[in-house]
Amino acid sequence: MAGAPAMELSSLRPLSNLSPHSCFAAAGSSLFATRGSAPAVSRTGCRFRAPRAAGAGHRGLALERRRRQFWVDERESGAEEGRGEPSSYSADDDDDDDDDDDDEAPLLSLSEKPDRSVALLDDYEMEELDYASNPDHRSGYVAVLGKPNVGKSTIANQMIGQKLSIVTDKPQTTRHRILGICSGPEYQMILYDTPGVIEKKMHKLDSMMMSNVRSAAINADCIDEVLEEGIRDLKNKVPTLLVMNKKDLIKPGEIAKKLQWYEKFTDVDDVIPVSAKYGHGVEDVKDWILSKLPLGPAYYPKDIVSEHPERFFVAEIVREKIFMQYRNEVPYASQVNVVSYKTRPNAKDFIQVEIVVEKNSQKIIMIGKQGRALKLLATAARLDIEDFLQKKVYLEIEVKVKENWRQDEGLLKYYGYGGQIRAL
């Protein structure tokens, strides 16, 4: 069937006694709305946590300790940096000198689901957030799976209420699993937005991305019919929702027919039509997930929206701008690395980014005549990064060529496609 874009949302263990709706203030979600205890956000803005309240220092340390358990320090696995002839552009209003250096950041694992016993809040946090007195609290992992461009990132962002995953009109924008945490007073759902499932793998990059998708599916005990063998036996154990997205593009009379078709010819538990871009139906999806989430305490403090470090999002923002500005092969041949991120007490943060492309011809396109294209890119990226970080930054971008990086397993691992990214 020439179906509407569809994706599957699967969550951990089913549970029958539900308390839907109780946790959501909003009926009919609005775009990027802020929630209860969540910190202020802007269009692309996400705070990893709300500004700490007085006395919350312990909690910060506890979180730090817990995070470190997910970090894998294996810098030796990184490929050597080929230093070509860089072309760079610095996007800044004025100039600053740098001081502190944090380049010794360890790696953060993206492929492992934190074990509940590891990720659990410590006693101080339990007491502070009063979890012990709330036996009805629900929490669990949800994998967002589906083909490229169906709107997985859009719906994940909508549910979290903040733009964590980049969204473009080009397929296969999402390359990593993006973990987003959506919390309410009585629940916490941890969403894994995954790259679109592709069957035809052109590069090693595609294979490594798909292996991370499979791992997200396994971690959430769920299955997508387009995924390969090895996880099929998990079916039946996990509630699966098929989200029929972009219903705004379907004629009203067709929606009912498509729903019937999906219900009849797929194994999913439910089908919900939504229009993620406009927020329609997103609350229904949230309610469905809530109805399936197991009872249990939160995995993370409620004001945390992601485990990813800031530099991960900085690279993603630059990548989004590349997808928006350049055509054809160039965005797909580009890898963005934050090579240095320096916070300075009396000056703007200093961020050095390298864009790696595969051919010199791509580098020429990326830079443009008299560097105009790169300047445009750097300025657009800087503005969004500042919006995201809620502070001014000095951004320097270099373009380098590394032939066939998409086929180089060592480099791909170094760039985070082996399931690890550098922590800040």
Ligand X SMILES: Nc1nc2c(ncn2[C@@H]2O[C@H](COP(=O)(O)OP(=O)(O)OP(=O)(O)O)[C@@H](O)[C@H]2O)c(=O)[nH]1
User: Binding of ligand X at residue 84 (CB under 6 A)?
Assistant: no
Nearer to ligand X, 120 or 145 (CB): 145
Q: How far is the CB of 299 from ligand X (least distance, A)?
A: 23
Residue closer to ligand X, measured from CB, 169 or 229: 169
* Largest CA-CA distance found in the chain, in angstroms, rounded: 64
Q: Does 167 bind ligand X (CB under 6 A)?
A: yes
CA trace torsion 404, 197, 166, 168 (10° rounding): 90
The site that binds ligand X (CB under 6 A) totals a number of residues, namely: 24
- In the complex with ligand X, the residue whose CB is nearer, 333 or 399, is 333
In sequence order, what are the residues at sequence separation of 6 or more whose Cβ sits closer than 8 angstroms to the Cβ of residue 2?
none
10 touches ligand X (CB under 6 A):
no
150 is an interface residue for ligand X by CB under 6 A:
yes
In the complex with ligand X, the residue whose CB is nearer, 94 or 169, is 169
Least distance in angstroms from the C-beta of 258 to ligand X: 14
Near ligand X by CB under 6 A: residue from 29, 188, 245, 306: 245
Site map 259..288 versus ligand X, x via CB under 6 A? ----------------xxx-----------
Closest to ligand X by CB, 62 or 166: 166
Question: Among 148, 185, 368, 371, which residue sits at the site for ligand X (rule: CB under 6 A)?
Answer: 148
Q: Which of 114, 140, 195, 239 is the binder for ligand X (CB under 6 A)?
A: 195
* Site membership for ligand X, residue 162 (CB under 6 A): no
Among 44, 139, 162, 173, which residue sits at the site for ligand X (rule: CB under 6 A)? Answer: 173
Check residue 212 for interaction with ligand X (CB under 6 A).
no
- Which candidate, 392, 276, 422, 390, places its Cα nearest to that of 46? 390
User: φ, ψ for residue 109 (rounded to 5)?
Assistant: -75, 130
28, 36, 82, 171: which one contacts ligand X (CB under 6 A)?
171
- Residue 17 burial (CB count, 10 A): 7
44 binds ligand X (CB under 6 A): no
Instruction: Report whether 338 contacts 314 (CB < 8 A).
Output: yes
**Residue 248 vs residues 5, 136, 222, 279, 365: alpha-carbon distances, Å:** 11, 36, 28, 11, 36
What is the closest distance, in whole angstroms, from the C-beta atom of residue 178 to ligand X in the complex? Answer: 9
Two tokens at 278? 């406009």
* Residue 149 lies near ligand X (rule: CB under 6 A): yes
Q: Which stretch binds ligand X (CB under 6 A): 243-251, 369-377, 389-397, 398-406?
A: 243-251
For residue 154, state whether it binds ligand X (rule: CB under 6 A): yes
Binding site for ligand X (CB under 6 A): 146, 148-154, 167-169, 171-174, 195-196, 245-246, 248-249, 275-277
